[in-house]
Amino acid sequence: MLFYDFEVFKYDWLVVIKDTDSKTTTTIVNDPGELKKFYEKHKSDIWAGYNSRSYDQYILKGILCDFNPSDINNHIIVKKLGGWEYSSLLWKIPLYNYDVMTNKFLGLKQLEGFMGNNIKESDVSFTIDRKLTESELQEVIKYCEHDVEQTMQVFVNQIEEFNSHMGLIKMFKLPLKYINKTKAQLSAIILGADKIEHDDEFEYEIVDTIQIHKYKHILEWYKNPLNKDYKKKLDIEIAGVPHTFGWGGLHGAKTNYTGEGIFVNSDVGSFYPSLMLQYDFQSRNINDKTKFQNIYDTRMKLKHEGKKKEQAPLKIVLNSTYGAMKDKYNNLHDPRQANNVCINGQLMLLDLIEKLEGRWELIQSNTDGVMFKLNSKDDLEEYENICNEWCSRTRMTLEHDIINKVIQKDVNNYLIVMENGKVKSKGAYVKELNNLDNDLPIVNRALKDYFVKNIPVEETINNCYDLIEFQKIVKVSGKYKYALHGDKKLDEKVLRVFASRSKNDKGVYKVHNNKDTPDKIANTPERCFIENNDINGVKTTRRLDKQYYINLSKKRISDFIGGE
């Protein structure tokens, strides 16, 4: 594999390419001939870059076609147009391009920050209106090489993304050129979907296996033509719990709830794919509907055999199909069928809640399941009997998990302790962190230790001495001219900030493109210091204000359980 990154200026361009086989680095500056020779030698390799699907591949192809890379850069960055629109010649250049960026909302610098790595940026401005000097070129090369190394590190940290991509290509015997496509695009190809336009988005049906009595007015809400509008939603109380019905999955939860006892979380197995199969809600753009059924059956067989790795590519196809039906650029695009899946899914769960409420306490409902609190374990048989009746009627399956403790802020933020002691969490405050999602890790740990192990937050925070645990990564978006630390203008747009005890340290601000008065960067301390160098292995000093993190943890605990 080749990992690569282009830097483009008005009168200069360069690329740094690292070869994983030979462990060599190639740097090419303003030399189309050398790039063409390198490409010819390596065009059968996989080229990997960060955001390369949208940017770098078009710079590479443009230079190979003798276009000015600065013009293509302006086309993509300034005019915000797709690189593929620049010239049809670019389509004809074969390139096995793999994009390491799996979350379009996170830039490479933010991921570098999460990993604790150096996030300093080059002082050389991309707006320079002249040729770069030799020293400027050397600085840009240094930073470009750093970014390529970081892209490789990101790749390794999410290697399962690449493996699943390759798994799809190998399992379905697709050409390697499809490595450049998204998983949803690959799913459309695997299912043999052709682009067909439909104009019946709101002509959905409600299936006759749904039996709703008490909450019939919710069913009628979906039948009312005035509500066939994605901006509309129905906020209503179900089983004593506030719920929202609309055009996404079902959401409802007791707010600021903490409880111990016997809870059952009942998830519908492969809910959306099952709805597509049982009620013919697949995209109408698929020519052979048996393909989806075969993929589903094969996946279930492998799952029951415990072959987790082998069934992973099949799961991707099944789970990405619903989202693809809502994507107007995907060949599976069929919004009526997507609405059929979503609406009937919500109403089926409402049907289940209606049958269970009154006997047991509803704690939360989500897109594909419900959670109830039982009176005792003796209730489990009756609970499952009601669920089994629902399953046989709706042709769905339910998987039940026993939970001993629930701490729930709302439907999107909760922490549950399973019967086997395993802890599951969701939401910004308590989610499972990793090397590529590592913001305020000490606060995350303090909350979990407090809720699960009854450890005071002071103990968790005061006994931690690794600086990386206290980092807050902030990004100043393109809507802003620059960031400020106090009144000092900063070159960097991504900052790693820490709460400071020093009175000499100021807050961090950002200046909007349309005004000159600065705005405080949200969720940052009043006084902070910035450390954009590599902090792996660095220990805390007295400058760090640990009390800030203790106070923040207590505030978040209060948000969870309610109260001031």
Reported as a single tens digit per residue, the pLDDT across 422-473 is 999 999 999 999 999 999 999 999 999 999 999 999 999 999 999 999 999 9
- Tell me the three-class secondary structure of 10-41, residue by residue: CCCEEEEEEECCCCEEEEEECCHHHHHHHHHH
d(CA 335, CA 337): 5
CB-facing half-sphere around the CA of 388: CA atoms within 13 A = 6
- Which residue in this structure is represented by tokens 């450390």? 531
Q: Under a CB-based contact definition with an 8 Å cutoff, are residues 466 and 540 in contact? A: yes
Backbone φ and ψ for 106, nearest 5 degrees, come out as: -120, 125
Please tell me the least confidently modeled range out of 169-173, 347-351, 536-540.
Answer: 169-173
Burial class (CB in 10 A: 0-12, 13-18, 19+), 125: exposed
% helix, strand, coil for the chain, step of 5? 40, 25, 35
Residues 6+ apart with CB under 8 A from 503: 527
Q: What single string gives the DSSP state of each residue in 147-158?
A: HHHHHHHHHHHT
Q: Residue 58 in 3-state DSSP?
A: helix
What pLDDT sits at residue 55? 97
- Bridge-based pairing state of the strands 508-512 and 2-8: unpaired
Query: Alpha helix locations (H) across 192-307?
Result: 216-223, 271-278, 290-304
Contact 409, 420 (CB under 8 A): no
276-303: average pLDDT: 94
355 to 107, 120, 210, 338, 390: CA distances (angstroms): 47, 58, 12, 26, 8
DSSP one-letter string for 387-439? HHHHHHHHT--EEEEEEEEEEEEETTEEEEEETTS-EEEESTTTPPPBTTB-S
Which among 402, 417, 409 is positioned nearest to 452, based on CA atoms? Answer: 417
Angle at 222 between CA 216 and CA 224, to 5 degrees: 100
> 302: which strand partners?
none
Q: What is the pLDDT of residues 505-535, one digit of tens each?
A: 999 999 998 888 899 999 999 999 999 999 9
Structure tokens at 369: 């399941």
pLDDT in tens, 48-73: 999 999 999 999 999 999 999 999 99
Helix H, strand E, coil C: the string for 524-555 is CCCCEEECCCCCCCCECCCCECHHHHHHHHHH
**pLDDT for res 125:** 86
DSSP classification of residue 74: I
Range 133-137 average pLDDT: 95
Output the pLDDT for position 561.
86
Secondary structure (3-state) at 76: helix
Using an 8 Å Cβ cutoff, are 426 and 265 in contact? Answer: no
51-78: burial string, b at 16+ Cβ within 10 Å, e else: bbbebbbbbbbbbbeebebbebbebbee
Backbone angles phi, psi at 204, to 5 degrees: -80, 165
Taking the CA atoms of residue 188, residue 192, residue 193 and residue 194 in that order, the dihedral angle to the nearest 10 degrees is 130
User: Which residue type does 257 have?
Assistant: Y
pLDDT of residue 563: 63
State how far the Cα of 366 lies from the Cα of 530, in Å rounded to an integer. Answer: 40
pLDDT value of residue 445 = 96
Comparing CA positions, the residue from 523, 459, 509, 446 lying closest to residue 480 is 509
Residue 211 contacts residue 394 (beta carbons within 8 Å) = no
CB atoms within 10 A of CB 487: 8
Q: How much is the pTM? A: 0.89
Q: pLDDT digits over 190-205, tens only?
A: 999 999 999 999 999 9
CA nearest to 43, candidates 52, 55, 35: 35
Whole-number Å distance between alpha carbons of 460 and 449: 8
Q: Are the C-beta atoms of residues 425 and 416 closer than 8 Å to each other? A: yes
CA dist 229 and 341 (Å) reads 17
pLDDT average, residue stretch 126-141: 94
What CA–CA distance (Å, rounded) separates 536 from 469?
10
Q: Which residues have C-beta within 8 Å of that of residue 209, sequence separation ≥ 6?
A: 393, 394, 395
Residues 6+ apart with CB under 8 A from 169: 175, 176, 178, 179, 186
What is the length of the chain? 564
Q: Which three-class secondary structure state does DSSP give residue 200? A: coil
pLDDT > 90 in the chain, percent: 88
Query: Would you put residue 139 in left (φ > 0), alpha (ψ -120 to 50) or beta?
Result: alpha
Position 4: which residue type?
A: Y
> Are 351 and 390 a contacting pair, CB within 8 Å?
yes
Quote the CA–CA distance of 48 and 245 in Å, as a whole number. Answer: 42
